[in-house]
Structure 1
Amino acid sequence: MQKEGERLIPINIVDEMKSSYIDYSMSVIVSRALPDVRDGLKPVHRRVLYGMYGLGVFSNRKYLKSARIVGDVLGKYHPHGDSSVYDAMVRMAQDWSLRYPQVDGQGNFGSMDGDPPAAMRYTEARLKKISDEILSDLDKETVDFQNNFDDSMTEPTVMPSKIPNLLVNGTSGIAVGMATNMAPHNLTEAINAICAYIDNREITIDELMQHIIAPDFPTGGIIYGYDGVRDAFHTGRGRVVLRAKVAFEEIGNRNAIIVNEIPYQVNKAEMIARTAELVKDEKIPGIYEIRDESDRRGLRIVYELKNDAIPNVVLNLLYKYTSLQTSFSVNNIALVHGRPEQLNLKDIIHHFVEHRHEVIVRRTQYELKKAKERAHILEGFMKVIGTQDSLDKAIAIIRHSANPQAAKEGIIQEFDLSDIQAQAILDLRLARLTGMELDKIRDEYDAIMKEIADLEDILANEPRRFQIIKDELIEVREKYGDERRTEIDYSGGEMSIEDIIPNESVVLTISHAGYVKRTLLSEYKIQSRGGVGNKAATTRDSDFLEYIVSATNHQYMLFFTEKGRCYWLRVFEIPEGSKTAKGRAVQNLINIEPDDKIKAYIRTNNLKDSEYVNQMSVVMVTKNGTIKKTSLEAYSRPRVNGVNAIEIRDNDQLLGAYLTNGTSQIMIATKNGKCIRFPEEKVREVGRGSIGVRGISMEDNDEAIGMIVVNDLENDTVLVVSEKGYGKRTAVLDYRETNRGGKGVITLNITEKTGNLIAIQNVTDEDGLMIINKSGVAIRMNMDEMRVMGRNTQGVRMINLKKNDEIAAIAKVEMDKDVVDEDAEENLEEGESVADNQENNTEATPQTENQDPAEENENADSEE
């Protein structure tokens, strides 16, 4: 009921709700949840820093109780709960929350396990040294001030920060209708990018990304893939995948996964507890025990595995189901002139540079004003005390004046001074009237006039102002810059990493027990034929190097296993090791089943090139002489768990897999020294699930030992090597072309001295060869040292074998002609030279083709 004197105003409730909600949301956006693009601070963080600045709690002063700081901030600037201020201050002190902490805390400020900090009455704090750069020049009218909540004092609307804080520390916040989540970055990289922008305002974001590579999180870890980073830099939105940094160790007789760094904002204790539940529910099999061995020296989480567990498989399950892999959704929203905007990398840098430019201008104007005020006073000093007569007059006026005001007026009239100058004369101590002090006043005046000229030049010269910004940033970088903590795994995304990883020649070695490594080709020295070689790898007992292949970092490796499955790895993903290193178990790199084993490999170029994969074919051969041809396109889509490549029957085994171009010649050799050559067209192309057809017919005690693919009939030669170190080069055309499935012809005269045939390879004079025997000794040699000889011969000794050693593998490599071991010839057996060795073993048991019994059946064509 309306009372007397009251006036009711009708209001539409929809309009009122809309207006009130917008007012509320803007208040939250501007005054609480979003940072300012210039200093990267929200109001609460800005007030904490300003409150500590007002209390004088600098990095070189003693700590102050946190409750004292929080109370000061609450009472003067922040009219909200004390927990909001204390929680903000605690986060500013945590080195796992901020990349560059701004508060130096003493006491319990929480932990990565989510433990809460001690109450504010127990902890102490002061500013970090880096915060001095955020507050620098605050007293020089560089920023605007506004009234606090009760208009009793003022507070800064923004900090003059020399630190690009929004970039280096990031931020997160939830407003009304919007949210922000900005990633931290490395200070050195950020300043390098800002300097590049100052030098070239038209710089592109891709060019900026050459300086500021990716986010750099305080907890380290690995950024898995680069697409999200690129999106975030270009658009202000992107999903960055983060992985823990892990290593593999052997603890006792068990394998273990060791975690040294976890993704940003992951609660370690919760992650371990959640993992334990998944292990208990058997969603992550293979884990025997989980231990948190973290201490003051660093983080260390141990996942001890069961004996039958494959470390790489368990690790992938951990990535899939636990917080060892998380994502950071970048959403760069900040306040620009009081309005929220989505910002890309260049926008953030632009607004910071404009802010710093305004700070430099306002600071210079302030310093110029102060310098001119001081010069004005010094001019008054020199008028009054510049000579003895003027000084005497001034003293007489002061002595005969009834009061200070009369003395001031008398001095003003006598010397034509301003009120300020006259007051400064009256305030002079008598000690300043000596001749020495007068000289100091003149020197100070000269220095002040030079400073004024310099400051005026700064205000008139924009390029000089930007140079000052650069110089101050470089000074900050030198004082606080550090190395990146977060690594980047480019292979996790779609980025073309050919621009990042050098395309160097490497040698890949795989041992019989499945240890693989990548070594720079330059680590191996060339020796002449007949050398004893040098140590190539450290292997376990009864292990030996089985495969060697030369490659470049940008190529792909396709691995084929005993069970007929195919797996993928980029060459650069294979761990690098020295020439004598054991390498990494291949099960830790690809998800091979425990009872499976790698039997063949193919080195290919880019599998994403559709023209290339459709032109090339994969040809496989088995121990029983079966051959299968499938388009490379069928193997061009890598899968983590591999794909079926060939069906392997009982008592058979995959020997090798090779690339062909459709017009190649195929040659298959057997351990008894037989070899067949036929055109690739004789083998029809089939699907991945097929068995294949007969490649060569063999006797019961014989088996295939390898296959080569020949593309240059004129220049390629066939190199065959026996297990006791004998080898021979023969022209390809010495092997008559036949149909697929024949018995072949003799390629090496097998005797007890030579041992069985173990390898076949196609080479030219420009090629090099690497030979490794079962004891791990390796030799590199040039093929031009071996002359081409007849097909049906015993060959020459290629490597001297000690005791009962045998050759394990050979591989063709590119040779560096500049690297030669001059002592190689001394390594031959006593009393035997290279020339003697070759002469003694060539054309040992010549035969004509008419005498070769195998040729009677070489046209046989049997097919399964």
Structure 2
Amino acid sequence: MSKISKKLDQFVSEKIQKTLLEDIMAKSFGRYSKYIIQDRALPDARDGLKPVQRRILYAMGQMGVNFNKPHKKSARIAGDVMGKYHPHGDSSIYDAMVRMSQDFKMRIPLVDMHGNNGSIDGDSAAAMRYTEARLSKEADYLLKDIDKRTVNFVPNFDDEEQEPTVLPAKFPNLLVNGAMGISAGYATKIPPHNLKEVIDATMALIDNPDLTDMDMLNFIKGPDFPTGGIVQGIDGIKQAIKTGSGKVIIRSKTAIEEISKSQDRIVVTEIPYEVVKADLVRQIDTLRINNNIEDILEIRDETDQEGLRIAIDLKKGADSQLMLNYLFKNSDLQISYNYNMVAILKNRPVLCGVLELLKVYIEHQKEVITNRSNFELERAMKRNHIVEGLIKMTSVVQEVIDVIRKSNNKSDSKINIQEKFGFSELQSEAIVMLQLYRLSSTDIEALMKERDQLNQEIIELNLILSNEKVLLKTIKKELLEVKNTLGDERRSLIEDEIENIKIDQKDLITDEQTIIGITKDGYVKRSSLRSFNASKEVGLKENDALLFEKEVNTLQTLIIFTNLGNYLFLPVYKIEDQKWKDLGVYINNIIPIEKNEKVIKVYAIETFKNDTKLLLTSKQGLMKQVNLTDLEVTRFNKPIRAMKLSKDDELIFVDMNELENIISISKNGYILRFETSELPLYGLQAGGVKSMALGEHDEVAVAFYAKPTDDFYFLTSRGHVIKDTVSELPKYARNRRGIILIERIKTSPHFIVSAARASKQQIKENVKVRLLSSKELLETDLQDLKYSNNKFGKKMIEDGYYIEISPSVEPETEVKVTKKVVKQEEVVPKVLEETIETKQNQKIRLSRLDLFDEE
């Protein structure tokens, strides 16, 4: 056993390496990252191609599948690429080949494909066994002169073939076709540009290497997408040209057609780059269905051979510009595009601007032209040397023939010629291989003409290699040829400013009347007038009753005040439409509220743009006025503070529409009347000021605006309604206790729970009155609350909770108070004290109700 253990230990020590896992992972991921950054996902700045694209184009060039040759099966091309240069899956090779053939993805397609190569609707291409492909004319310019040692070659994955590290690229393909890719820690997103503009910018940079980033804008106006569209945002384009990073907006090209005098149609003819048309149509139709945009009647895809066309029919009377703006904002008819111009420069990923990319391209072209010139110079000199030998041979042709005839073989002939006439190895090889018919006078003249041409070519090539200006002139000449051959007009329209679209949701809502019901327990429902009129009973939870029931417009807004000093901003159109007999939606499911929060008052607001004021009163007697305009908000997904309250305080009542006086009534029956001008106007975040002095165990029950000519009705906890008149109440300053309004009895006392004013006009119209108990609702009219001889008023409901008197239909007229009433208001306060103290130091409360009997 010991021998085996020793052998095992020896094997382990020799064969197994001990390394930390994090070191292994770090090294492995580092190698992987380097590979996918340099050799997979990011394009080279010189030719603008990723390795798989370069290998596809080179393999097709080697196969002879040029633009002027017949197409070959895509499967054969993909197989050749995979077998020789790209040891990955055939699907990745074919997908790359398909993308290079799609004219809606590539500004200049590099592959010409026969068959189904996908569509702008997101359809995938047919399988590679069905399609055929060849190089496009544009790709031919990327591969041009590759056989003249213009670029470096490296062994392929199995060292059996050679592949180029970069293509000669006779135009700046990276900017023209753009690129998109994701690798480890890096991503690139370069939009396509117009070939003419990019070449003009390149030639301008060759002429003036000191051009600035902003000078580039004179040539490159911005992206030029194959799908056209409108590009907005000159600032984003400037930033991208300078830094390689920026943001623009791509908007569809649209037009508005008139179907009839009152009906329009939106027509989309160009969509943003890389937006799938079928998905866009589906998205707009989903917006129509889910968002209840009733102004869109139908959407159709009418694309045919003549071009892309999406028709959006609108209903009669619909605002076409509003609907178009809504679709721009909420669909892919308009998208944002973020530049991220990362490319491989000197084997490193770099974020760079246009100027740097063009400088790299120009340096690449210098290298390509130099390498090509060296190759052509070597070939021309070699041929010139041979031609010189052939011309020299013509003067001694007979002697040469004799020497060849006397020689034993070809090698012997070459040696003998070289020894006798002084020809070189190359010249002697050409002489012995010469056909006899070439010795005619015509061919001799051709040789002399060829010599002259070769001498001129050698001079020109030497000039290119020795003179920088001539080299740059050559690059410009070739770029100009590409521009004239391949260039086309810009497709995308550039607009300097990004249009800021603001959509008022109300503009999308159909203007119609609807019924809103809100219960005291917080259930909200919205129903059509038809459902309301057809329903015999309202759907309610047990022991619940409607606190608010009103016919409102869908464009109005509900302001719902709660006892915690908050208000809920709820547009009517946001409430789900239900049947009137349904229970409704609990308010917490619309806007989250606290568990102990309950609704106390609801108003339907048509507009916030007026001078309306609201009166807010707390249980502890704090009171303030706020402007209605302050209540308008744009975000309304949570309760908003209306009044700052202490821990034990609550908001108990809210009134609207400022009048001359404020009437405040306490739970124990005290009433105070004072001038409205005494109460300050505050913001929503503030608390109030003391409005009424409260006795021990007392609290404010209700407070409201009133005119001196008004009557008012107050509801007691025992369900009694008592009528009184404002003019009979003495006026005090704020923060007084007031006078006793209702007699206190020891057993089952009447506590005030709610109150409402009634103007002369309301009395005249005999308006409706809503009386709520803790369990039910009683609807009656004002005459039913007429004055009773009982000092505790008229018994109306089981227990009092809330009273509301409907506003008059006709506007209220101003009624002047008579002089007699004014005098009474001035005299009465002197007689009616709040309390009288007797000789025995006993305090007696005075009440105007002392003359009445007990109930």
Does the Cα contact within 8 Å between 2:181 and 2:187 map onto a contact in 1?
Answer: yes
Q: Which amino acid aligns with 1:240?
A: V
Alignment of 1:188-203 (within 5 A): 188-203=196-211
Q: CA deviation at 1:439?
A: 2.1
CA contact (8 A) 2:245 2:338 kept: yes
Offset of 1:216 from its aligned partner? 0.4
Could you tell me which of 98, 101, 113 is aligned with 1:90? 98
RMSD: 1.7
Partner Cα separation in structure 2 for residue 447 and residue 470 of structure 1: 24
What SS class does the counterpart of residue 176 from structure 2 fall into? helix
Are 2:166 and 1:173 aligned?
no
Counterpart among 424, 435, 439 of residue 429 in structure 1: 435
2:336 matched residue in structure 1: 327
Amino acid at match of 2:462: E
1:194-233 alignment runs, 5 A limit: 194-233=202-241
- Does 2:484 align with 1:478? yes
Match of 1:420 among 416, 419, 426: 426
Instruction: Give the superposition deviation at 1:491.
Output: 3.0
Q: Distance in 2 between matches of 1:22 and 1:2?
A: 32
Taking the aligned partners of 2:165 and 2:473, their CA distance within structure 1 comes to 26
- Amino acid across the alignment from 1:135: L
Structure 1 residue 270 corresponds to structure 2 residue 279? yes
Name the residue aligned to 2:247: 239
Matched residue pairs, number? Answer: 493
Matched-pair contact (CA < 8 Å) for 1:113–1:270: yes
Q: Where does residue 383 of structure 1 map in the other structure?
A: 392
What does 1:42-53 align with in structure 2 at a 5 Å threshold?
Answer: 42-53=50-61
Higher RCO (C-alpha under 8 Å, 6+ residues apart): 1
Once residues 175 and 314 of structure 2 are traced to their aligned partners in structure 1, the CA distance between those partners, rounded to angstroms, is: 40
Please state how far the C-alpha of 1:4 moved relative to its aligned partner: 4.0
Structure 1 counterpart SS, 2:122: coil
**Partners of 2:52 and 2:93 within 8 A in 1:** yes
Change (3 A) 1:477 1:154: same
Residue 318 of structure 2 is aligned to residue 290 of structure 1: no
Residue in structure 2 matched with residue 41 of structure 1 by the alignment? 49
Q: Secondary structure at the match of 2:133?
A: strand
The equivalent residue for 1:442 is 448
- Name the counterpart of 1:351: 360
* Deviation string, structure 1 residues 750-802 (Cα, Å, up to 9, x no partner): xxxxxxxxxxxxxxxxxxxxxxxxxxxxxxxxxxxxxxxxxxxxxxxxxxxxx
| Cα distance in 2 for residues equivalent to 1:36 and 1:99 | 18
Residues 423-477 of structure 1 deviation map (CA, whole Å, 9 limit, x = unaligned):
1111111111223222221221122111111111111111111111111111111
Q: 1:814-829 residue pairs with structure 2 within 5 A?
A: none
TM-score in terms of structure 2 length: 0.56
**SS across alignment from 2:137:** coil
Q: Secondary structure at the match of 1:263?
A: coil
Residue 258 (structure 1) aligned to one of 267, 270, 274: 267
Q: Which amino acid aligns with 1:126?
A: R
CA-CA distance at 1:7 after TM superposition:
3.4
Q: Which residue does the alignment assign to 1:61?
A: 69
Residue in structure 1 matched with residue 308 of structure 2 by the alignment: 299
> How big is each residue's C-alpha offset from its partner over 1:398-446, in whole Å with a ceiling of 9 and x where there is no partner?
1111121111111111122222221111111111122322222122112
**Structure 2 segments unaligned to the other structure (5+ residues):** 1-7, 501-633, 635-855
SS in 1 for 2:497: helix
Note the C-alpha offset of 1:12: 2.8
**Would the aligned equivalents of 1:227 and 1:493 in 2 still touch at CA under 8 Å?**
no
Task: Flag the 1:288–1:2 CA change in 2: closer, same or farther, 3 A.
Answer: farther
1:651-670 equivalences under 5 Å are none
- Aligned twin of 2:600: none
Q: Aligned runs of 1:481-492 on 2, under 5 Å?
A: 481-492=487-498
Structure 2: how far apart are the matches of 1:8 and 1:80? 31
Instruction: Return the alpha-carbon distance in structure 2 between the equivalents of residues 461 and 283 of structure 1.
Output: 71
Matched, 1:340 2:346: no
SS in 2 for 1:192: helix
Structure 2 partner of 1:316: 325
Match of 1:71 in 2: 79
Deviation of the 1:13 alpha carbon: 2.5
Output the CA distance in 2 between the equivalents of 1:3 and 1:324.
71
- Judging changes above 3 Å, is the alpha-carbon distance between structure 1 residues 196 and 493 closer, same or farther for their aligned structure 2 residues? farther
CA contact (8 A) 1:76 1:148 kept: yes
User: Shift in Å at residue 77 of structure 1?
Assistant: 0.8
Preserved contact between residue 397 and residue 407 of structure 1 (Cα < 8 Å): yes
CA distance in 2, matches of 1:21, 1:117: 34
Q: Tell me which amino acid in the other structure corresponds to 1:461.
A: N
User: Is 2:166 aligned against 1:141?
Assistant: no
Q: Does 1:463 align with 2:472?
A: no
Write the distance in 2 (CA, Å) between the matches of 1:327 and 1:46: 30
Residue aligning to 1:749: none
Q: Secondary structure at the match of 2:231?
A: strand
Asked if structure 2 preserves the Cα contact closer than 8 Å seen for 1:284 and 1:318, the reply is no
Contact 1:285–1:314 at 8 Å: present in 2 too? no
From 126, 130, 133, give the equivalent of 1:125: 133
CA distance in 2, matches of 1:315, 1:4: 77
Q: Distance in 2 between matches of 1:445 and 1:418?
A: 17
Equivalent of 2:24 in 11, 16, 39: 16
- Amino acid in structure 2 at the alignment position of 1:181: K
Q: Superposed, which structure 2 residues align to 1:591-670 within 5 Å?
A: none
Structure 1 CA distance for aligned equivalents of residues 367 and 130 of structure 2: 41
Post-superposition Cα deviations, 1:234-254, rounded to whole Å, max 9, x if no partner, equal 110111211111110112452
Aligned-residue offset at 1:283:
5.6
Q: Secondary structure at the match of 1:209?
A: helix
Which residue of 164, 172, 180 maps to 1:164?
172
* Aligned partner of residue 146 in structure 2, secondary structure: coil
User: 1:364, 1:455 within 8 Å by CA — same for their partners in 2?
Assistant: yes
**Displacement of 1:18:** 1.2
Unaligned runs of 5+ in 1: 495-638, 640-864
Whichever residue aligns with residue 132 of structure 1, its letter is D
Deviation at 1:26, TM superposition (A): 0.6
**Amino acid aligned to 1:421:** Q
Moved more, 3-12 or 325-334: 3-12
Give the aligned residue type for 2:334.
Q
Asked whether the equivalents of residues 383 and 415 of structure 1 are also in contact (C-alpha less than 8 Å), the reply is no
Shift of 1:214: 0.3
Alignment of 1:406 with 2:404, yes or no, is no
C-alpha distance 412-222 of structure 1, shift in aligned 2 (>3 A): same
- What is the TM-score normalised by the length of structure 1? 0.56
Q: Per the alignment, in what secondary structure is the counterpart of residue 114 of structure 1?
A: coil
Instruction: Give the whole-Å Cα distance in 2 for the aligned partners of 1:263 and 1:2.
Output: 67
Identity %: 47
2:371 aligned residue: 362
Aligned match of 2:809: none
CA contact (8 A) 1:93 1:104 kept: yes
SS at match of 1:463: helix
* 1:111 aligns to 2:119 (yes or no): yes
Given that 1:106 and 1:124 are in contact with CA atoms closer than 8 Å, whether structure 2 keeps it comes out as: yes
Query: CA offsets per residue over residues 544-586 of structure 1, 9 Å max, x none?
Result: xxxxxxxxxxxxxxxxxxxxxxxxxxxxxxxxxxxxxxxxxxx
C-alpha distance in structure 2 between counterparts of 1:230 and 1:4, whole Å: 65
Q: Deviations over 1:301-324 (max 9, x none)?
A: 011112242112111111111100
Instruction: Tell me the secondary structure at the aligned position of residue 117 of structure 1.
Output: coil
CA distance in 2, matches of 1:366, 1:443: 22
| Match in the other structure for 2:380 | 371
